[in-house]
Amino acid sequence: MKYNIANIKRINVFYRECGGNDKPVMLLFHGFPSSSHMFRDLMPMLESKFHCIAMDYPGFGNTESPSREEFAYTFDHLAEICDAFIEELKINKFYMYVFDYGAPIGFRIALKHPEKILGIISQNGNVYEEGLGSKWAVRAEYWKNPTAELRESYKSAFAKETVYGQYTYGTEEGSVSPDGYSLDMYYASVIDDYAEKQSDLIFDYQNNVKMYPVFQEYLRTYKPKLLAIWGKDDPSFIWPGAEAFRKDLPDARIVPVNSGHFALENCCREIAENIIEFFGE
């Protein structure tokens, strides 16, 4: 594994990579409240078949976190940085692994550069309204009526007990290491103005939902090879979101794993084996 920094639009972006340059590239797009460290176990399992690259978005992990006055914390803007990162590294074609926030980011890039996409792994990376758990109905009310009080209430998403629950809900007791959620809690404590930046993204998530039909049209038009491998007990992006891919891609492979949201934490080897079987050459 190598750990690097690329200067993208005057932001120092951290990324990790492994696997030979002679292998097809796989870009891994992380979710909330995590960073590229969520792929720390998966990437070595894939490096015999892929050149794996995972970056941290601005405001996450080890990438610089510009102030809200200097940088708009929206999904459009994060996707723009990721797209510039791909250009800087001269990546012409790639597989993409999308999870949680990584799905609307990765699918924006796929819309812009459909010719670059070799295939997609969606691990609890939702692009269908069927996949929105019950909490999203409440958030939809917040998007319609964005009061300061409601914005403040959603900062509970950054609380330690919430992060712990995201990692452990839907998993067998004792199957999830504390490493992942402890590191997320640490980043939340040291990144300047973390709660406000993340609150901006929570509010902007409404624009991802509005783009779901566009993402679905991309699937129907370009028919990328797709594996939806899903922690079946995820309360945020529920199992019907995985099954919904078949509406637009009848040949998609849909695989449930015995986990919740952060399925790599306890089902990493199973996910790696499915990826290699489905995409490996």
* Dihedral sign for Cα atoms in the order 105, 107, 112, 118: positive
User: In this prediction, what percent of the chain has a pLDDT beyond 70?
Assistant: 100
Q: Evaluate if pTM is beyond 0.85.
A: yes
**Alpha-carbon distance values, 179 to 13, 265, 271, 277 (Å):** 22, 9, 19, 28
Residue 78: per-residue pLDDT:
98
Q: Kindly tell me if the per-residue pLDDT of 281 is higher than 70.
A: no
Q: Kindly tell me if the per-residue pLDDT of 128 is higher than 70.
A: yes
Give the CA-trace dihedral at 108, 109, 115, 118, to 10 degrees. Answer: -100
Give all domains of the chain, ordered by start, each with its CATH number.
2-279 (3.40.50.1820)
Q: Quick one: average pLDDT of 260-279?
A: 97
Residue 280: per-residue pLDDT:
72
Whether 30 sits among the annotated catalytic residues: the reply is: no
Q: Quick one: average pLDDT of 243-248?
A: 98
Cis omega (within 30 of 0) on the bond before 240?
no
Candidates 30, 37, 51, 261; catalytic one: 261
Q: What is the DSSP letter of 132?
A: B
Closest of 193, 152, 162 to residue 261, by C-alpha: 162
Q: What is the DSSP letter of 196?
A: H
